[in-house]
């Protein structure tokens, strides 16, 4: 079969197995080409790019936005325009990224399917039933955490859709998923923290990263934004992105001396910049990390270099700081003032564990002293 060859067209298969096509002319910005090579849609984009014109931006799935379909509902939920009523646009950036990926994959697989049909009388009848959603959720049994994120995302979208009468019924009601038996991210022990520090000495960005994470107990989405502007009188103050708008969102913490030692040990950057960096943590190019995921992947590579097994993450250091405070006898309220937890339920897990350790030590001490 003859293959269409066009100048400046670059085609490749992405990580999802889908073919992507771009118009790449040397010295010009790459332009995505829609449709299949040779199709009217593709050739229109190609001609526009070839003549230097820019095609007007397209709304994802605009041509398939048939009311009552999965595509139409997903597009409405992901709409972040000023006139949108979707709660999606108020979510934290990292939550938006996760939910967008989930829903775009869901749209890719089921976009043209109908959620409901409208009878001649005007009454809307659900086509997407609970058992259909249950079957889709069950397909993800092998990845419990992915299944949980998928289910929670669908439930949030349909809850909003029902409230605005975009659909007549919520098909996620009654749907179940696997219960995850996990304590979450693994908290680092003192020996594991020391193992990391031995591999990444003072004077490295990797060392500054762990000292900043331990000093602030910040989530990765917050720690990548922290910089000199947040520090005054050796105290750091920042608003947590996850609880933004809540009274617990603001965190004010006196910084540990170990952080300032690591900061002072960093050698001068050999990257020429017109303005100083705005964040403490930067990439090898001297730029702030663009996303929490990018920083998380970078930090995981530093853990690999230190010989730490899988399961260690930046979030685990947040738990390590909470554990340290609990072991020192801090109350749940004191720990929450540092970690910024909105409720005490999570923090009390650390204080209870510390209490058990203390009571066990006292019990064994009595056993020894009594000569038993």
User: Beta-carbon neighbour count of residue 367 at 10 Å?
Assistant: 10
Mean pLDDT across the stretch 282-306?
93
Above 60 in pLDDT, residue 324? yes
Those residues with Cβ within 8 angstroms of residue 177's Cβ, 6 or more apart along the chain or in another chain: 137, 144, 147, 148, 151
**CA separation (Å) from 201 to 196, 210, 337?**
9, 11, 30
Q: What percent of the chain has pLDDT over 70?
A: 91
Q: What is the pLDDT of residue 270?
A: 63
Q: Which residues pair with 19 in a beta bridge?
A: 13
How far is 165 from 314, CA to CA, in rounded Å? 41
**CA separation (Å) from 164 to 84, 133, 158, 232?**
12, 21, 10, 46
Q: What is the pLDDT of residue 3?
A: 63
Q: What is the pLDDT of residue 246?
A: 60
Provide the mean pLDDT of the chain.
87
More confident call, 230 vs 29: 230
Sign (positive/negative) of CA torsion 36, 38, 44, 45?
positive
> What are the pLDDT digits (tens) for 171-225?
999 999 988 776 667 889 999 999 999 999 999 999 999 999 999 999 999 999 9
More confident call, 54 vs 86: 86
Provide Rg for the chain, Cα atoms. Answer: 26
Instruction: List the chain domain ranges.
Output: 9-50, 62-163, 190-361
Q: What is the pLDDT of residue 214?
A: 96
Mean pLDDT across the stretch 132-143?
93
Q: Answer for the pair 133, 126: CB distance below 8 angstroms, yes or no.
A: no
Q: Which fold has domain 190-361?
A: hpI Integrase; Chain A (1.10.443)
Instruction: Please state at what angle helix 144-163 crosses helix 70-77, rounded to 10 degrees.
Output: 90
Assigned token pair, 332 = 């749940």
Those residues with Cβ within 8 angstroms of residue 106's Cβ, 6 or more apart along the chain or in another chain: 70, 74, 150, 154
> What are the pLDDT digits (tens) for 20-38?
888 888 767 788 888 888 8
DSSP alpha helix (H) spans, the chain: 40-50, 70-77, 93-110, 130-138, 144-163, 190-199, 205-216, 220-223, 257-265, 292-305, 314-327, 332-339, 345-369
Above 90 in pLDDT, residue 8? no
User: Beta-carbon neighbour count of residue 287 at 10 Å?
Assistant: 13
């Amino acid at each position: 079969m003859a293959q269409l060859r066009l100048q400046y067209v670059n085609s490749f298969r992405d990580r999802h197995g889908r073919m992507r096509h771009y118009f790449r002319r040397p010295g010009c910005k790459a332009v995505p080409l829609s449709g299949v090579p040779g199709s009217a849609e593709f050739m229109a984009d190609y001609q526009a790019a070839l003549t230097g014109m820019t095609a007007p931006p397209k709304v994802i799935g605009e041509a398939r936005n048939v009311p009552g379909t999965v595509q139409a509902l997903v597009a409405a939920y992901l709409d972040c325009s000023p006139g949108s009523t979707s709660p999606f646009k108020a979510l934290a950036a990292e939550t938006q990224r996760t939910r967008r990926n989930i829903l775009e994959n869901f749209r890719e697989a089921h976009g043209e399917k109908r959620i409901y049909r409208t009878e001649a009388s005007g009454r809307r009848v659900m086509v997407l039933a609970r058992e259909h959603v249950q079957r889709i959720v069950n397909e993800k049994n092998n990845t419990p955490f992915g299944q949980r994120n998928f289910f929670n995302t669908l439930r949030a979208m349909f809850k909003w859709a029902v409230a605005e009468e975009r659909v007549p019924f919520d098909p996620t009601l009654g749907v179940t998923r696997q219960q995850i038996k996990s304590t979450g991210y693994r908290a680092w022990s003192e020996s594991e923290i020391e193992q990391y520090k031995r591999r990444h000495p003072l004077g490295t960005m990797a060392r500054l990263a762990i000292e900043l994470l331990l000093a602030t107990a910040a989530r990765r989405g917050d720690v990548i934004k922290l910089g000199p502007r947040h520090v005054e009188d050796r105290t750091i103050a920042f608003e947590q992105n996850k609880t933004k708008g809540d009274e617990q969102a603001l965190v004010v913490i006196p910084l540990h001396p170990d952080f300032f030692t690591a900061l002072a040990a960093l050698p001068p950057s050999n990257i020429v910049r017109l303005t100083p960096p705005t964040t403490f943590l930067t990439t090898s190019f001297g730029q702030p990390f663009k996303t929490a995921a990018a920083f998380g992947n970078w930090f995981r590579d530093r853990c690999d270099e230190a010989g730490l097994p899988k399961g260690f993450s930046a979030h685990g250091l947040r738990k390590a700081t909470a554990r340290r405070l609990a072991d020192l006898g801090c109350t749940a309220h004191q720990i929450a003032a540092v970690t910024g937890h909105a409720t005490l339920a999570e923090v009390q897990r650390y204080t209870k564990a510390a209490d058990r350790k203390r009571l066990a030590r006292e019990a064994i001490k009595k056993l020894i002293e009594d000569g038993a």
